[in-house]
Amino acid sequence: MLNVPNALTLLRIFLVPLLVVVLLTRMPAKEYLALGVFLVAALTDLLDGWIARKFKKVTRLGMLLDPIADKILVSAALISLVDLQEADAWAVCIIVGREFAVSGLRAIAAGEQITIAASSLGKWKMGAQVVGISLMILGARLDDIGLWRMTGRAALYVMTVMAIVSGFDYFRKYLPPLLAKEVGRGPEAAPEPRREG
């Protein structure tokens, strides 16, 4: 169902290519425009959740699509910043790898009719990512004394730690029940091996 919260989530996804193009182009003052696009996209993340809860528009599609939109936005921004040499590749690999791992966990859980909503720790992580990415985008512009760049790198390391901690929290909560379901089905639930000839 495409309601207002889900439409805002889709808007966030559609803003990602624009953000990447602006970041990687050579237009004057591109950092300010990129920061504006990024903050508008991040604002839709706050609005879609608030509207969904306030007006009881929470849907399963929204619960699945919202974290995916967040991951696409953050991953695209960080990879672009690596290309601009404003972010360390190793830290971005950890953050993006965590996003893929949690997305995989969500996909498996969805197959078992378990919906994994964003946790409070995951929301704090997203908040730290918005601040950190904003600082790194500005650091590419306001680098006269290096303060913005140093602050952005410090924020990146905080983001990396929070990504690891929140990722561990998701797997700690949801992996045991998924494994228990798999064990509960037993070997008889497995498909028969196909015989040739």
Measure the CA–CA gap between 45 and 122, rounded to whole angstroms.
13
Are the CB atoms for 31 and 87 separated by under 8 Å? no
pLDDT tens digits, residue range 77-110?
A: 999 999 988 899 999 999 999 989 988 888 888 7
Q: Is residue 166 pLDDT above 50, yes or no?
A: yes
pLDDT tens digits, residue range 144-155?
A: 667 888 888 899
What tokens were used for 56?
A: 């009881």
Domains of the chain: 4-176 (1.20.120.1760)
